[in-house]
Amino acid sequence: MPLHTIRTLRLGALAGALLLVLSQHTVGQETADTPITLEAVEEAYRAGDFTTARAGLEPFAEAGDVTAQYRLGFMIANGSGGPFVRQEATRWLEAALAQGHEAGKLLLARVYLTGSPEVPDYERAVQLLEAEVVNGEAEAHFYLAQLLRSGRGIEADKQRAFALMRLAADAGMPAAQLSLAQMYSRGEGVEKDDAQASRWLLQAADNGNARALMSLYHNYTRGSGFPKDEAKALLYLKLAVEAGDTIGQRILGAAYLTGQGIEADPVRGVALLVQAAEKDEPGAQTNLGYAYATGTGVNRDLTKAAEWYRKAADQGLTRAALALAEMLYNGHGVDRDVVEAVNYYQIAYQGRDTTAAVRLGEMLVSGEYPHEETEAGLYWVSAAAEAGSSDALDWLVARAAQGEPYADYRIGVIYRDGLGAEADPERAARHILIAAEAGFDFAQEAASELYATGAGVGQDYVEAHKWANVAAADGSETAGERRDVLADLMTPEQVAEAQGRAKAFLQSQ
């Protein structure tokens, strides 16, 4: 049984984009006693009760009222009175368009270009935009230009993209002005022209475009395109923050927090960081975590610190993952949880954080590591050994004795470079050569280097050439270069001997 049935329907005229139509017609609910009138819907809209207005429009739209269809599509597209649901928005806007309501074209195109959760429908957007371009709509020029630049929904055409972008920029659209600046600076669809690029960038910035302002901030900071000017950089950063730029909020917030390049004002810094962090900007969340952890600009609060670190760490931010892992491991601000700490150490390790590797290695050696050892385990313990853990070094030595060439190689590197243990060239050479003989390519290259320099072994170009040749055959380009340099210093007899030994080595493998 349908929820709504329509009793009578006569259409009135649309009065302005944001006004609903007043009409005498009513739509009633079968189950309800009082009929809904468009008058009531209008009343609700004016009162700011968008939920009621949106729900009230539905029966009229269903009944084919073109104005109601457009209004409903408009509200759904803007997410007012309920969530944005692309499929619903396009349904009503398309329905209105089919009945000749042209005003919704541009909005509809924009909705089609929206990504999540559906895949954008570039082809349909292009159709709609082409029609609006003919009408001279600046916004249509801008959107179509972007599609022509990327070749989505239409064959890429940089020249036409430039022409349209120029029209939109001339019409005063800040986003178009920024894009035009980019096109001039890259020579995209137009001859490269840095002066024009600067001019349009400034124009977009004057119009308050946040990205343009940030771009100016970066340019003045790095001195690219303009002379380096920290005062101006700061000015543009503040303007971008005023325009609501999230990254700008994070950068300025961090600057106030630490007093770098600006007079320190931690309270203000925290306020800005909160703005960005609440928009889920992971860097700001991390900095906020730091502010809470250290009591900078806020009262020290380890629980809150852990919360903010977690938000950023869950987005994969290495620094935050490491900080949170340390808190979890030590039970600071959160309950101690080794398993969770390990998970976050691993996130940090994936971001190539050495400290995380060292911690994981230490936990593996101490037996605290709660999982099965993986291949990365050897790497972690090596990192811990290089950081000076003698337990880790002993662990590696035991592994090496069991015939693990990677362990031999890393022990060799530790003693060769004096990292985490006192340098011992002879011992280094012994381990590196064991790993090389076992077929480990990095060790073979290192063995070549040992023989070439004579560190810990007698200098021997034949052996150096042999190992470089073997490593090069394994695909190392640097080893190939080393081999060719060595060959220049050797007699043909030495090279012949070295090649013979390399061949014999590979055959013995």
Partner 1 sequence: MMRRFFQIAALLSLALSVLAAQAAAQTGARTGSLQQLSDAAKAGDADAVFELAERFRRGQGVLQNYARAADLYVAGVQFGDARAMNTLGGLYISGLGVPQDATKGFELLQAAVRSGEAKFLHDLASVLQQGIGTEPDPARAAALYQRASDLGWTEATVSLGVLYQDGIGVEADIARAVVLYTGPAEAGHPRAQNNLGLIHVRGEGVPQDYEAAVEWFARAAGQGLPVAMRNLGVMYENGFGVEVNEEEAKRLYRLAGQGSADGAGAALAPVFDPRLAPPDPAQAEDYLAAARAGDPVAQFLLGYLLVSGAQSAADYRQAAQFFQAAAEKGLPAAMANLGLLAFSGRGVLQDYVEGYSWLTLAAAAGLPGAIDLRDALAGDMTAGQINAANVAAQAVWAKHAK
Beta carbons of 450 and 435 less than 8 angstroms apart: no
Instruction: State which residue, 372 or 477, has the beta carbon closest to partner 1.
Output: 477
Instruction: State which residue, 15 or 496, has the beta carbon closest to partner 1.
Output: 496
Whole-number minimum distance, CB 458 to partner 1, in Å?
23
> Which residue in the set 19, 47, 398, 506 belongs to the binding site for partner 1 (CB under 8 A)?
506
Whole-number minimum distance, CB 73 to partner 1, in Å?
48
- The CA–CA distances, whole Å, from 420 to 225, 337, 414, 484 equal 46, 29, 7, 34
Upstream peptide bond of 405 is cis (omega within 30 degrees of 0): no
Instruction: State which residue, 86 or 466, has the beta carbon closest to partner 1.
Output: 466
Instruction: State which residue, 71 or 482, has the beta carbon closest to partner 1.
Output: 482
491: tokens are: 């007699």
By DSSP bridging, strand 36-37 and strand 4-5 are unpaired
Instruction: State which residue, 323 or 486, has the beta carbon closest to partner 1.
Output: 486
Whole-number minimum distance, CB 432 to partner 1, in Å?
20
Q: Of 384, 353, 354, which is closest to residue 369 (Cα–Cα)?
A: 384
What CA–CA distance (Å, rounded) separates 460 from 449? 10
Q: Contacts with partner 1 in 442-501 (CB under 8 A)?
A: 469-470, 472-473, 475-477, 480, 483-484, 487-488, 492-493, 495-496, 499-500
Instruction: State which residue, 11 or 490, has the beta carbon closest to partner 1.
Output: 490
What CA–CA distance (Å, rounded) separates 402 from 408? 10
What CA–CA distance (Å, rounded) separates 98 from 23? 23
Whole-number minimum distance, CB 489 to partner 1, in Å?
9
Whole-number minimum distance, CB 410 to partner 1, in Å?
24
Whole-number minimum distance, CB 369 to partner 1, in Å?
35
Whole-number minimum distance, CB 141 to partner 1, in Å?
38
Interface mask toward partner 1 for 8-47; x: CB under 8 A? ----------------------------------------
Helix (H) or strand (E) segment spanning residue 28: strand 26-29
* Sign of the four-CA dihedral 17, 22, 27, 28: positive
> Which residue in the set 124, 152, 232, 503 belongs to the binding site for partner 1 (CB under 8 A)?
503
Q: How many CB atoms lie within 10 A of CB 32?
A: 10
Whole-number minimum distance, CB 468 to partner 1, in Å?
9
In sequence order, what are the residues at sequence separation of 6 or more whose Cβ sits closer than 8 angstroms to the Cβ of residue 168? 138, 139, 141, 142, 145, 176
Contacts 24+ apart (CB under 8 A), 151-156: 152/120, 152/122, 153/121, 153/122, 153/123, 153/124, 153/125, 153/126, 154/122, 154/126
Instruction: State which residue, 422 or 488, has the beta carbon closest to partner 1.
Output: 488
In sequence order, what are the residues at sequence separation of 6 or more whose Cβ sits closer than 8 angstroms to the Cβ of residue 88? 73, 76
**Exposed/middle/buried for residue 26 (C-beta within 10 Å: 0-12, 13-18, 19+):** middle
Instruction: State which residue, 179 or 469, has the beta carbon closest to partner 1.
Output: 469
Whole-number minimum distance, CB 420 to partner 1, in Å?
32
- Binding residues for partner 1, how many (CB under 8 A)? 21
User: Is 247 a residue that touches partner 1 (CB under 8 A)?
Assistant: no
Q: How many CB atoms lie within 10 A of CB 253?
A: 29
Residue 4 is given by DSSP the state: E
Whole-number minimum distance, CB 499 to partner 1, in Å?
5
Q: Where do the H-state alpha helices sit in 367-440?
A: 376-386, 390-401, 405-417, 425-437
Q: How many CB atoms lie within 10 A of CB 405?
A: 19
Instruction: State which residue, 82 or 500, has the beta carbon closest to partner 1.
Output: 500
Whole-number minimum distance, CB 472 to partner 1, in Å?
5
Instruction: State which residue, 47 or 485, has the beta carbon closest to partner 1.
Output: 485
Torsion region of 23: left, alpha or beta (phi above 0 gives left; psi -120 to 50 gives alpha): beta
Instruction: State which residue, 251 or 486, has the beta carbon closest to partner 1.
Output: 486
Residues at the site binding partner 1, with contacts judged by CB under 8 A: 469-470, 472-473, 475-477, 480, 483-484, 487-488, 492-493, 495-496, 499-500, 502-503, 506
